[in-house]
């Protein structure tokens, strides 16, 4: 994704991506009754040193107390506001297959105030079925429903060959944020933000990491043969 577009209020994208993980660690600390959390502790949750955490949080003007750490409740509240977790967000999901169904039934989104209010598919066997009390609607109704209900977020879980047409319908419906799980790059207007989740490419990166570890453990020099390299992303 475009690095510039991924910046929020001047926060670089990698720092932004670590913030929800800090938030999750803080929630855990609060539930355990721990009032202060050190930058080293937060750093362990993202595999980064405490210095990186301090730098990330300085973008929010959050500065922990030396030797004490960050006030867990205060920082969690600040992150909630910054990440927009205090606002209810409504989404639609298109493509109720293996992944779409799992996402539609995932209860964890509620913690982030995200509600998937409508499901769409183009398969006649699926339209009319019920998933978690929501009836699957024909995809032809997507743009109109999104527009009528002022939906902000569209989730794409269709095969890559269908992703662009689904994105186009979302844009027509006024959706401004697309969470795309299809392994391809979408073309959208400049005011639409696309977040791509390429799970297969992530897996390839993990595979690469394991391969490299094996090379280091066995003391071998290794060779550049492309094994484990992420798949090329292609246009939808």
Nearer to ligand NAD, 61 or 124 (CB): 124
Show the 3-state SS of 176-216.
CEEEECCCEECCCCCCCEEEECCHHHHHHHHHHHHHHHHHH
What the block records as the tokens of 113 is 């105030």
Nearer to ligand NAD, 64 or 95 (CB): 95
Nearer to ligand NAD, 37 or 146 (CB): 146
Least gap, CB of 198 to ligand NAD (angstroms): 7
Least gap, CB of 201 to ligand NAD (angstroms): 9
Nearer to ligand NAD, 102 or 216 (CB): 102
Strand 130-131 to 134-138 pairing: antiparallel
Please give the Cα distance from 121 to 173 (Å, whole number).
16
Beta strands in 17-101 (DSSP E): 36-37, 70-71, 89-94
Q: Is residue 24 a contact partner of residue 45, using CB atoms and an 8 Å limit?
A: yes
Nearer to ligand NAD, 162 or 204 (CB): 162
Least gap, CB of 196 to ligand NAD (angstroms): 10
Least gap, CB of 73 to ligand NAD (angstroms): 36
Least gap, CB of 159 to ligand NAD (angstroms): 5
Least gap, CB of 95 to ligand NAD (angstroms): 3
Cβ-closest residue to ligand NAD? 97
Q: Which residues bind ligand NAD (CB under 6 A)?
A: 94-100, 120-123, 126, 139, 157-160, 162, 165-166, 181-183, 199-200
Residue/partner pairs of 13-19 with CB below 8 Å, 24 or more apart? 15/55, 15/56, 15/59, 18/46, 18/48, 18/53, 18/56, 19/56, 19/79, 19/82, 19/83
Nearer to ligand NAD, 67 or 108 (CB): 108
């Amino acid at each position: 994704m475009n690095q510039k577009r991924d910046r929020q209020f001047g926060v670089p994208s990698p720092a932004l991506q670590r913030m929800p993980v800090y938030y999750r660690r803080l929630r855990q600390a609060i539930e355990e009754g721990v009032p202060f959390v050190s930058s080293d502790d937060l750093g362990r949750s993202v595999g980064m040193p405490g210095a990186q955490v301090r730098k990330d949080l300085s973008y929010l003007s959050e500065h922990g107390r030396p030797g004490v750490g960050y006030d867990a409740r205060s920082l969690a509240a600040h992150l909630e506001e910054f990440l927009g977790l205090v606002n209810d967000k409504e989404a639609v999901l298109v493509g109720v297959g293996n992944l779409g169904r799992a996402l539609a039934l995932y209860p964890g989104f509620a913690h982030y105030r995200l509600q998937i209010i409508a499901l769409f598919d183009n398969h006649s066997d699926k339209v009319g079925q019920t998933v978690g009390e929501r009836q699957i609607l024909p995809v032809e109704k997507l743009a109109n429903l999104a527009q009528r209900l002022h939906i902000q977020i569209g989730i794409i879980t269709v095969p890559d060959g269908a992703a662009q047409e689904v994105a186009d319908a979302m844009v027509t419906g006024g959706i401004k944020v697309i969470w795309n799980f299809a392994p391809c790059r979408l073309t959208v207007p400049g005011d639409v933000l696309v977040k791509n989740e390429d799970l297969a490419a992530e897996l390839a990166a993990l595979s690469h990491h394991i391969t490299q570890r094996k090379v280091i453990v066995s003391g071998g020099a290794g060779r550049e043969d492309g094994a484990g390299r992420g798949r090329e992303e292609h246009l939808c």
